[in-house]
Structure 1
Amino acid sequence: MAKVKIELVKSTIGCKKDQIATVEALGLKKLHSQVVHEVNPAIEGMIFKVKHLVKVEAQED
């Protein structure tokens, strides 16, 4: 399956509580932290919800 690397590039200070929870659910804790996830509809929805806070790159296998 395809993988994506997600990096938190903007702080969650001042964001809505559901957006903060989504960032935490993705596994991002601090600014510039990175995680790799397999692409599925749930992950795509989470990325869409916080697209203004994260940077997404395609990860090669």
Structure 2
Amino acid sequence: MAQIKITLVKGLVNQKPNQRASVQTLGLRKIGQSVVREDTPANRGLANAVRHLVTIEETD
């Protein structure tokens, strides 16, 4: 299955609590940290909810 690489590029200061929770659920803590997740609708939805804070790259 395809995978996506999600990188946190902006901080969580002054963000809404649900956006902070989405970033934490993805497993991101620090700016510049990346995680590789399966490309599922759930993970896409979490990343899409905070698309202004992260970058998303498709990997194989």
Could you say whether these structures have the same fold, taking a TM-score greater than 0.5 normalized by the shorter chain as the test? yes
TM-score scaled to structure 2, two decimals?
0.97
Residue ranges of structure 2 left out of the alignment (5+ in a row)? none
2:24 match: secondary structure: helix
Aligned residue pairs total 60
In 1, the alpha carbon distance for the partners of 2:58 and 2:40 equals: 13
**Residue type at the aligned position of 1:43:** N
Cα distance in 2 for residues equivalent to 1:15 and 1:29 = 14
- Segments of 4+ in structure 1 off by > 2 A? none
Runs of at least 5 residues in structure 1 that lack an aligned partner in the other structure: none
How do 1:41-52 and structure 2 match up within 5 A? Answer: 41-52=41-52
Percent identity, aligned pairs only, is 43
Structure-to-structure mapping, 1:1-61, within 5 angstroms: 1-60=1-60
State the superposition RMSD in angstroms: 0.5
